[in-house]
Structures are given as structure tokens and as C-alpha cells.
Amino acid sequence: MTTMVRRWPLLRVLLSAHLAFTAMLWALFMVVVLVITGILAATAGISESIQHYATTQAPRWLLFGLGIDVVSTYLRLHLAHGRTRRNFLGQSIGYTFVISGFAAALITVGYLVERLVYAMFGWTQRLPRKAMFDAADEYPMMLATFWLTFLLWTVAGLVIGLGFFRSTGLGLLTIPVGLMIVLPTFIPTRDGGLPFVGEELTGLDVAPGVVLAACAGLYLLAVGIVWAIVRDVPMKSTAP
């Protein structure tokens, strides 16, 4: 048995369940983006990055969903095999870093793929909306922006998932908490996309260090909430 399996069994389970799934969805996403790009090129012409419209919106919801799935599917499995809640906390934290980094890397590669396609046809890959990165070829900053964003959305999914695992009442209470956790991610992506809240954050001109500090603080808060909920959470029976 490898060290990875012995020391990080849940992480191994989660990654084997979610990495391939995420990569598959990314490939599908890229195909859709390229098809839309082709249609626009044939009708209106291309002057900016098409995928930038979507990458700051849809992928974060996938990461949020994966965070919920970690609890709704794998916490039960973890406890049923005699593992502890403390162990779940450590491995789920490791998971949030790995899955969000992996997804951010795929998105970054997507910009690179788009750049190569645009170069072939002589189009300009301009960003329609500035993010914490100013141009579509600032790959390290792009990776950092999406990693930070996805990290907070994944841990927000964990918090809300655990809330509902414990009780419906607590689950409802964790929804605004989850929203608070993801709000700072609107600043680096300059994209809110939620009704009623967060749009004013997209215009704030905040130094990257401040954004990073705010996100780190909220991540730590989220981990504290995860521990507070999971440390003695009962595993209720499911029917049948």
C-alpha cells in the first residue's frame, strides 16, 4: 500500500472521483467555447477573449458543487469505514487546495489554447473585462486568481454541505455564511454574477496583497466553521 493511500486515503478517494470528472467537464467547456468562437468569427468577427466571459462565472459553481459532494457523498463513506471527523477535516482541507489548483490550471491552459487558436487566425485575444490579471497572457497571475477564487468557492460548498448534513435548519443558516466567504472573490475576477449582492465589489480597486489577506482570513474562518460543525456531527441513518 502506498504512503498516499495509507496517510491520505480520503484525499485519494476524492481525487480519483473528482479529478477526471473536472477534466472531462473542462474539455466539454473548451469545445463549447471554441464552437461559440467559430460561430462569432463567421458572423460578427472576433476581437476579444470569448472564454473570459464564461470562466469567471460557471467554473466556480462546479467547485462549489464539488465541495458539497465531499460532504453529502464522501463524509458518510469516510465515517462508515471507521475514519474520524478530525481526519476528515485535514483531508478535506488538502482536497480544497488540490482540486481548486487543478481547476485553475485547466482554466489557465484554456486561455493558452484560446491564444494559440486566435494566433492561427490572426485574431486579438483582448480581455473584455479586466481581472486581477490585465492581459490574457499573464498566466501566473491568472492561475493565482482562479486558484484563490476556486479555493473559497470549494470551502463554501463544504460549509453549506456540512450545515445541511447536520440539519436543515443549520444548512439554511450556513447559506449566508457561504455567501460571505465567496464575496471577496468578486474583486480579483471583477465579476459578481449574483443577484442583489456583490456587484459593488467588482469595481473596487484593491491591492492584490489586501485581496489575498482577505481571502486567507475568510478561508481560515471557513475551516474553523467546518471544524465546529463536523467535530461531533452525528451520522444519521438513511432510508432504507
Partner 1 sequence: MTTIIEVDRLSLRYNEVTALDDVSFTLTGGKIYGLLGRNGSGKTSLLSVLAGYRKESGGTVRVGGRPVFDNAEVTSQVCLVRGTGDAASSGIKVADVLTFASYLRESWDSTYAAELVEMFSLPLNKNVGALSHGRRSALGIIIGLASRTPLTMFDESYLGLDAPSRYKFYDALLAEAMSQPRTMIISTHLIEEVSALFEEVLILDEGRLVLHDEAETLRAAGSAVTGDAESVDRFVAGLRVLGEKRLGRTKSAMVYGELDEDRRAEARAAGLDLGPLALQDLFVHLTEPTGDRS
The yes or no reply on residue 25 touching partner 1 (CB under 8 A) is no
Other beta carbons within 10 Å of 229: 20
Q: How many CA atoms lie within 13 A of 9 on its CB side?
A: 12
Instruction: Give which of 114, 117, 135 is closest to 126, Cα–Cα.
Output: 135
In three-state form (DSSP H/G/I as H, E/B as E, the rest C), the secondary structure along 118-181 is: HHHHCCCCCCCCCCCCCCCCCHHHHHHHHHHHHHHHHHHHHHHHHHHHHCHHHHHHHHHHHHHH
Q: Which is nearer to partner 1, 88 or 147 (CB)?
A: 88
The yes or no reply on residue 76 touching partner 1 (CB under 8 A) is yes
The yes or no reply on residue 104 touching partner 1 (CB under 8 A) is no
Q: Cα(23)–Cα(211) distance, rounded to whole angstroms? A: 28
Q: Which of 47, 61, 86, 172 binds partner 1 (CB under 8 A)?
A: 86
Grid cell, residue 184, equals: 471577496
Q: Which of 31, 47, 61, 84 binds partner 1 (CB under 8 A)?
A: 84
Q: Report angle CA 156, 160, 165 to the nearest 5 degrees.
A: 140
Q: Which of 122, 195, 209, 234 binds partner 1 (CB under 8 A)?
A: 234
Smallest distance from the beta carbon of 198 to partner 1, in angstroms? 31
Q: Which of 48, 85, 93, 193 binds partner 1 (CB under 8 A)?
A: 85
- Of 135-143, 148-156, 193-201, 229-237, the window that binds partner 1 (rule: CB under 8 A) is 229-237
Smallest distance from the beta carbon of 173 to partner 1, in angstroms? 17
Footprint of partner 1 (CB under 8 A): 5-6, 9-10, 12-13, 16-17, 73-74, 76-87, 231-232, 234-235, 237-240
